[in-house]
Chains A and B, each alone.
Chain A
Amino acid sequence: MRFTLIFLFFMYLPGLIFADEWHVDTDAENLVAFTSEVLVLKFTGKTGNIDGFVYWEGEEMFYQNNQMHFEVDLNTLETGIGKRDRDMREVLDTQKWQYATFDGGIKNPVKIDSSLNTYKLTVIGKMFIHGVERDVETPGTVVIANDGKMHVICDFSINLSDFNIKAPSLAAFIKVSDNIRLHLDFYLKKAEE
């Protein structure tokens, strides 16, 4: 009997450790956008199709053993013209690598506004695009809104050449810039038990 009770205690002990998991709210108005500028020509692609999660252990937000995974279905990117979408998919070779992913964690989360539950933090990890993985470190802002959703905003740049992506032509003999600005603005909600 004593032996059984001890056994049951250790079975349920893991449940007593606090862990939190938030998933991207795929029904929210999420935005992943990239912009390339060259001379006076600007080229933008957008999608709302981002998915993934943030996870950490401990009661305090992002406290310890935090990890995240985000992914964007590159077949959903739209630039405003169907032909240009098709060209972009070919440049990114989405038939082979349909998803761009990020895997990493959070460091230095700092609560900057206790009334709004706003955090400034640094996201560090590996970004995977076009068959190439690169280290990425970028600042971001997280706001826990009154409706309980986590709002994430993040801006950073990448170079196409770092991911073996050949800059395509935007117009006659004018190529898209190698440096691309990325803007992420999306929402997460607490994962259901």
Chain B
Amino acid sequence: MLRHTSIFLLSVLILSFSVAAQPKWKRSKPPKKIPLALFHSTMTANFPTAEMLKKGDFMYEISHRFVPPIKDGFDALWGLNGPAKIRTSLSYAISNRVMLTFGHVNLLNNLDFHIKYRLLEIDSKTLPSAVAIRAGIAVNPGIPNSLDRGDFDSDNFQYFAQLVYNTMFFNKKFGVGIVPSYLYNSSIFTIDKQYTFTLGNYYQYYFNHMWSVWLELNPIIAGYQGFITPDEIGNKSFNHVALGFDIETGGHFFHLFVTNNSRISPTQFLVGADKKAGSDSWRVAFGITREL
């Protein structure tokens, strides 16, 4: 009895010492959770992704679509002698989920403004997904003088909306984007207002952090697919195809590619390509973005 009591007391004593001699600190804040990140950039060459800028960050874009086809050869420096459709734009994140973009394209002096909003993300191991919506407005004040219409006449305005769905496979090496898109007032030169509905899709494979290859398609599903400028009257618009590679370094993205589509502004691009994809329609193109 006495021995049991002694053992008990000794155990209590040792326990008391060990409890008292330990720090009592516990982590005071939970681990910070980061939003799901899929594609590396906020945009492909022509489409939005569901990625966003960080609140307060800017992004600048400069893009060229050379009009002469590659098949014109050395005389046109394979298209690089121009002319070219040129786009410049500036984006700003007013929050981690909302991005504003102001852009300009030289074709019809097109000015555009759009908002992208990240709706939701699903952090699934098998199908990680992110969804965003983008909507915007554009005006085309560069109309011919012969047209009896002011530069900012309501007929010169166009409107568009897109849903962006992104997912990735193979340990975030291969990305897929689907972008159903709606455009209203597809051509500002038609008497009746037209609409165009397309189902944009893109696929990007990342070899590593710096190099990737991609393919873009934008088949026209319904609506208008005709001309968008007076000198194109009688011409059709065609399904867009672009194939290229990206170089990513620091805050820069370089999109280098060939395409059948020389149109860049969202409200011009979404009508379709100015040339049918084929051996005589491929043009050199590039886009460069820089996050600031």
Using CB atoms and an 8 Å cutoff, list the residues of chain A in contact with chain B: 3, 7, 10-11, 13-15, 17, 19, 21, 23, 26, 49, 51-53, 55, 57, 65, 67, 69, 71, 73, 75-76, 81-87, 89-90, 94, 98-99, 168-173, 191
| Set of chain B residues within 8 Å of A13, measured between Cβ atoms | 13, 16
- Which of B21-29, B161-169, B185-193 is near enough to bind chain A? B21-29
Q: Are B251 and A169 in contact (CB under 8 A)?
A: no
Bound: A89/B172 CA distance, A = 15
| 6 pairs of A and B residues whose beta carbons are closest in the complex | A82-B54, A14-B20, A53-B25, A75-B32, A55-B23, A83-B291
Query: Of A14, A69, A81, A94, which one neighbours B17 at CB under 8 angstroms?
Result: A14
Please state if B209 and A14 are interface contacts (CB–CB under 8 Å).
no
Do A14 and B28 touch (CB < 8 A)?
A: no
Complex: chain A residue closest to B42, CB-CB: A83
CB atoms of A57 and B209 under 8 A apart: no
Q: Which residue of the partner chain, among A82, A98, A172, contacts B57 with CB atoms under 8 Å?
A: A82
Q: What number of B residues sit within 8 Å (CB to CB) of A?
A: 33
Q: When A and B form their complex, what is the total count of cross-chain residue pairs whose Cβ atoms lie within 8 Å? A: 96
Prevailing SS type, chain A contact patch: mixed
11 interchain pairs, CB-CB under 8 A: A10-B13, A11-B12, A21-B23, A21-B24, A51-B27, A51-B29, A82-B93, A82-B291, A83-B54, A89-B34, A169-B250
- Selected from A7, A52, A84, the residue in CB contact (under 8 A) with B25 is A52
Distance from A188 Cβ to chain B, minimum over Cβ atoms (Å):
10
Give bound CA distance, A73 to B27, whole Å: 11
Any chain A CB within 8 A of the CB of B147? no
B18 to A: closest C-beta gap in Å: 9
CB distance from B30 to the nearest CB of A (A): 9
CB <8 Å contact, B9 and A53: no
Q: How far is the CA of A88 from the CA of B209 in the complex (A)?
A: 11
From residue A53, how far is it (CB to closest CB) to chain B in Å?
4
Would you call A26 and B28 a contact (CB within 8 A)? Answer: yes
User: Is the pair A81, B23 in contact by a Cβ cutoff of 8 Å?
Assistant: no
Residues of A within 8 A of B5 (CB): 3
| Set of chain A residues within 8 Å of B77, measured between Cβ atoms | none
CB-CB under 8 A for A57 and B32, given A81-B251, A171-B249, A172-B250? no
- Further 18 A-B residue pairs, CB within 8 A, beyond A14-B21, A65-B21: A10-B9, A11-B16, A13-B13, A15-B20, A17-B20, A21-B24, A49-B29, A73-B29, A75-B34, A81-B54, A84-B291, A86-B37, A89-B34, A98-B31, A171-B249, A172-B249, A172-B250, A191-B24
Q: Nearest-CB distance from A24 to chain B (Å)?
A: 8
Chain A hits for B93, CB < 8 A: 82
Residue from B25, B32, B252 within 8 A of A69 (CB atoms): B25
Q: Does B53 sit at the interface, judged by CB under 8 A?
A: yes
Contact of B9 among A7, A98, A169 (CB under 8 A): A7
Which A residues are CB-close (under 8 A) to B27? 51, 71
Cβ-based interface call for B94 (8 A): no
